[in-house]
Amino acid sequence: MTNTPAIVPIPVGLDDGYAFTKLALPDGRLIVIPSRARVGRSDMTWIHGAEQRVFEYETEGSVYCVGAIDGAPTHFDGYSWSGLNRAVVQHALQQAGFAGQTMHAVSGLPVSTFYRNNGEQRHDAINRKRESLKMAVQPLPDGLPVGIAFHGVIPEALAAWYDYVIQEKNDVVTLDKDRVSEPVAIIDIGGRTTDYVVVKEQGILHGSSGSLQCGMLNVKQRLADGIQTRFDFETLSEQLVSHAVEQNTVRLQGSDHDVKDLVEAAKREVVEQIFAETRRQLGLGVELDRVLFVGGGAVALAEHIADWFPHQAIAEYPAFANARGMLKYLRYVCEASDAV
Amino acid sequence: MDRLERIPAVRRQEWLRGLLVQGFRVECQALRATESGAAPGFVTRSNRFNPSIKRTPVSTVVSEPTVVEMTHSRVATSEKPFAALGKVIG
């Protein structure tokens, strides 16, 4: 009788957002790639394998390319369980160096996709997402796929709460009892949505929790509209607009143009919507001990959200707060997985 | 402390404030040097995180993954010590 070594699954916190896909890994790495992919082959030949920047994956009989391409829009209902999403996630795991490995993952859904208004879970959506990422994705032409053997799904902003209350320090994991007991609001400014979760006495206040369909992708869309109007172009690549948001300039026909005013106007418009919803959900937050901002938008819009509440804070590396919380949930809370 | 005692009492508060600002600036420079000295696409995390420091958002125009190295957690347990927190989800 031979002893076959057991396969030890690797845990991963997987925040597969509409704009960016973030991984939190137990070796301490946090990895982000743009959620940028499209259906079809890349039709490119790479002379040197090391310089390859577009990668192809097949899932459910369809081929997707991921990487340095003009990505298809991800902000559609159902992206969370689409082949496009699976290809992006597989690519992120491949880039993290897990080819051929088996993983246990926890990911998330926006609060309003996870819960009905009355607090009941939307089991159909949760199950679709859970099963989708367990489906096979084959790296082309003959790469070793990363397999996801277990996949849990939790509300996205709540993941940041787990990150907030579970502390890892000096190889010891502890629960911050003060943080667990205090009423706290998490505001997660993401790509397509801004999520609100209020946790009090280890329960979610659904009356003050939900999702606003507005995020950093709206900034990009407003900016794209502004650039098209100003320079009279019909179309702009998604990469060009991303560059303009970050650098305040756009390169058109060989010349750089300052578009800072358009970037600021786009941000202001989105910030106003988020501010109005924040006041609607949380008021002045007088009964909260803490308001915590997380998500990539908390960094990009930091100057605009700096003084909304006197007791607010921005999480450490806020874009990764959900991914970190998903990993902590998987390792220390989720009994359905034995990954540690 | 010797220097502090040599300074007139009315200026001590101002001197201490300056010292704090200087220390803060040195720390910021050290942070920036650590980040710029790392390999392309990699950022080494400092334990001295300060939320008030304005950070540049992670660039995502390039398609290569951006990696942030956090403190490696070697916590290993076969149990789920905070399983009770699962009830928060409902």
**Sequence-ordered alpha helix ranges (H) in chain A:** 83-95, 111-114, 123-132, 156-165, 177-181, 216-231, 238-247, 260-282, 296-300, 321-332
| pLDDT beyond 80 at A315 | yes
Residues of chain B in contact with residue A14, where contact means CB-CB under 8 angstroms, are none
Closest C-alpha among A184, A66, A36, A60 to residue B88: A184
- Chain A touched by B89 (CB under 8 Å): yes
Q: How many CA atoms lie within 13 A of A38 on its CB side?
A: 12
- Chain B touched by A183 (CB under 8 Å): no
Instruction: Tally Cβ neighbours within 10 Å of residue B24.
Output: 13
Question: Quick one: pLDDT at residue B39?
Answer: 35
Structure tokens, B1: 């402390």
Instruction: Tally Cβ neighbours within 10 Å of residue A242.
Output: 21
For this complex, say whether ipTM is above 0.90. Answer: no
Closest C-alpha among A177, A157, A170 to residue A113: A157
Cβ A30–B68 below 8 Å, yes or no? Answer: yes
Find the residue in A nearest to B68 (Cα): A30
Our CA-based measurement puts residue B46 at a distance from the nearest CA of chain A, in whole angstroms, of: 11
Mean pLDDT score, A41-69: 82
Helix (H) or strand (E) holding A198: strand A194-200
Cβ B57–A300 below 8 Å, yes or no? Answer: yes
Q: What is the pTM of this model?
A: 0.80
Low-confidence ranges of chain B (pLDDT < 70): 1-8, 10-15, 17-64, 70-78
Cβ A29–B71 below 8 Å, yes or no? Answer: no
Quick one: CA torsion of A110, A193, A209, A304, rounded to 10 degrees?
140
* Amino acid present at A82: S
| pLDDT beyond 90 at A171 | no
Supply φ then ψ for residue A330, to 5 degrees: -65, -45
- Chain A touched by B81 (CB under 8 Å): yes
Our CA-based measurement puts residue B23 at a distance from the nearest CA of chain A, in whole angstroms, of: 21
Cβ–Cβ < 8 Å for B63, A33: yes
- Chain B touched by A47 (CB under 8 Å): no
Cβ–Cβ < 8 Å for A156, A186: no
Question: Quick one: pLDDT at residue B14?
Answer: 64
Cβ A334–B80 below 8 Å, yes or no? Answer: yes
* Bridge partners, A29 (sequence order): B69
Question: Which SS3 state, helix, strand or coil, does residue A329 take?
Answer: helix
CA A298 to CA A320: how far, in whole Å?
11
Which of B51, B60, B72 minimises the CB distance to A316? B51
* Residue whose pair of structure tokens reads 């890994």 in the numeric block: A25
**Mutation target vs A (from B78, B85, B87; most A CBs, 10 A cutoff):** B85
Q: How many CA atoms lie within 13 A of A332 on its CB side?
A: 25
Which of A29, A68, A332 minimises the CB distance to B81? A332
Mean pLDDT score, A282-310: 95
Question: Which SS3 state, helix, strand or coil, does residue A261 take?
Answer: helix
Question: Which SS3 state, helix, strand or coil, does residue A81 take?
Answer: helix
Question: Quick one: pLDDT at residue A154?
Answer: 97
